[in-house]
Amino acid sequence: MNIIMLGAPGAGKGTQAKRLAEGYGIPHISTGDILRSNISRGTELGQKAKGFIDAGALVPDDLVIQLVADRLEEEDAKAGFIFDGFPRTIPQAQSLDQMLKEKGRKIEFAVNIDVPDQVIVERMSGRRFCINCGASYHTEYLKPQTEGVCDKCEGELALRKDDEPETVLKRLEVYHDQTEPLIAYYRNNGVLKEVDGTKEVAEILAEIRKQLGY
């Protein structure tokens, strides 16, 4: 089963992808993980990617596709995969489709977790992390026993810059401009499944599994 997870930043793609991967016995793959793995192993593709990253540039689509192709050749991905955060653009999706076609494979499901922008902003701007041990909290959904203090180590809790409302809104603008068109792309391909991402995690997971028929 070959699955792509779609949705805005903070929609819960990663959370659901991990649970689906565990349930279906297939790997949860992100391009970030692939890049880090290749760079740490010093592969030829990893060294090329590192050159772009060190220069502050985006890794080109053709190089990302090569990295993805190599990852899908690994034994654990032979029975399927779940992509989280990739593809991000229509050209990436088209390149992925072509690469999979050459391998006799295809995307079977694209799952869009739909969450309104305002809910995304509330979710992400409420996140807090411990600057000492890294533990995660939320001002509404996972409060510490003492406000601003980590339950585990009594370290100070802080808001990541990426989770500041202004930053979240900018990330959403990029998402709507570059990534949201993938919803129509996969709908036209007849593989799109959509779920309400404002429900509880377990409810969303159950709905996805129902829609996938597994």
Separation between Cα atoms, residue 95 and residue 89, nearest integer Å = 10
Residue in 88, 187, 199, 209 annotated catalytic: 88
∠ CA 65-71-194 to the nearest 5 degrees? 70
Pairing, β 28-29 against β 109-114: unpaired
Question: Annotated catalytic, 106?
Answer: no
Residue in 36, 106, 160, 210 annotated catalytic: 160
Question: Annotated catalytic, 19?
Answer: no
Question: Annotated catalytic, 209?
Answer: no
Residue in 171, 187, 199, 209 annotated catalytic: 171
Residue in 123, 127, 128, 193 annotated catalytic: 127
Separation between Cα atoms, residue 31 and residue 92, nearest integer Å = 12
Question: Annotated catalytic, 127?
Answer: yes
Q: Render the burial of 53-75: b for 16+ CB within 10 Å, e for the rest.
A: eeeeeebebebbbbbbbebbeee
∠ CA 33-37-40 to the nearest 5 degrees? 135
Residue in 13, 19, 128, 193 annotated catalytic: 13
What are the catalytic residues? 13, 88, 127, 160, 171
